[in-house]
Amino acid sequence: MTRAPLRPAVREAVEILAAAGVPSPQADAEHLAAHVLGVDRGRLALMPMLTPDQLEEYHKLVARRAERVPLQHLTGTAAMGEIDLAVGPGVFIPRPETELIFAWALAQLEQLGHAHQPIVVDLCTGSGALALAIAHARPDAQVHAVELDAEALAWARRNALQLADEGDTPIDLHAGDVTDPTILEHLDGKVDVVVSNPPYIPEDAELDPEVVDHDPHRALFGGPDGLDVIRPMTAVIARLLRENGAAAVEHDDTNGSGVAALFAAHGGFTDIVEHPDLAGKPRFVVARRTAGR
């Protein structure tokens, strides 16, 4: 069996992906090679050769990526925190920017101490990314996740079962609408941390093909101004949080001040802070439930 050298194959893939307008051709070419070889990307240097079958599979994957099929649909996984999630058509692909909310949530839980079991709610959980990453990092926490879309909920259930089988604390998945004023009523005033990556893109936004052609539109768009879900969700967050509990909501980079204004207008929050992402763009707002609620 004649093996082919990996490095020229990756170089050719980079050229193909760059010509197709893929934003990160080098990284994607290497991720696909690592997927075909069944190794971490950092170990590619230790795998200098491809079998003919592997080379054929690699060429097919590169061609599909050049058609702007998302990398995560080709590999079947997306990362959040220390976990890998199964993703594919029908569910929103978690983004690296959301890792910032995950890190914020862990910091909030660290400050709580051990007076009671921490309770966390993930609104618009999608694939279960934030809920499951938090449950993995904090097995002592009781984590609830809400999702409206049936396809996304199926992906979240699949990921939850897999991680529970691997030993993580199971989460509680709820089919429901995060704008419903009665959602999770049994948790009123009991929740320590709420996180949410809701649909927040304004309807007229121009998006990359990977997003607009492959992510579910229901998970992307939040009405004309991007706030159709966040606006009513603010009251739900206020109802769920215990005194001094905190929330973090991801938003479009045009809406940092708009989301902060929604929390301020409610009147039940303090310590409202806008946070940028790693590129310096406005990305999420945090707020704390007013003491003496």
> Which amino acid is it at 153?
L
Please give the annotated binding residues for substrate, written as ranges: 197-200
Residues sharing a CB contact under 8 Å with residue 22, sequence separation 6 or more, in sequence order: 28, 65, 66, 68
Q: Which residue has the tokens 């005194």?
A: 243
Vertex 195 angle, CA 203 and 98, to 5° = 65
What six digits make up the tokens of 194? 């709420």
Please give the annotated binding residues for S-adenosyl-L-methionine, written as ranges: 147, 197
CA distance 138 to 288: 21
Please give the annotated binding residues, written as ranges: 147, 197-200
Phi, psi angles (nearest 5°) of residue 35: -65, -45
Residue 148 near residue 99 (C-beta atoms within 8 A): no
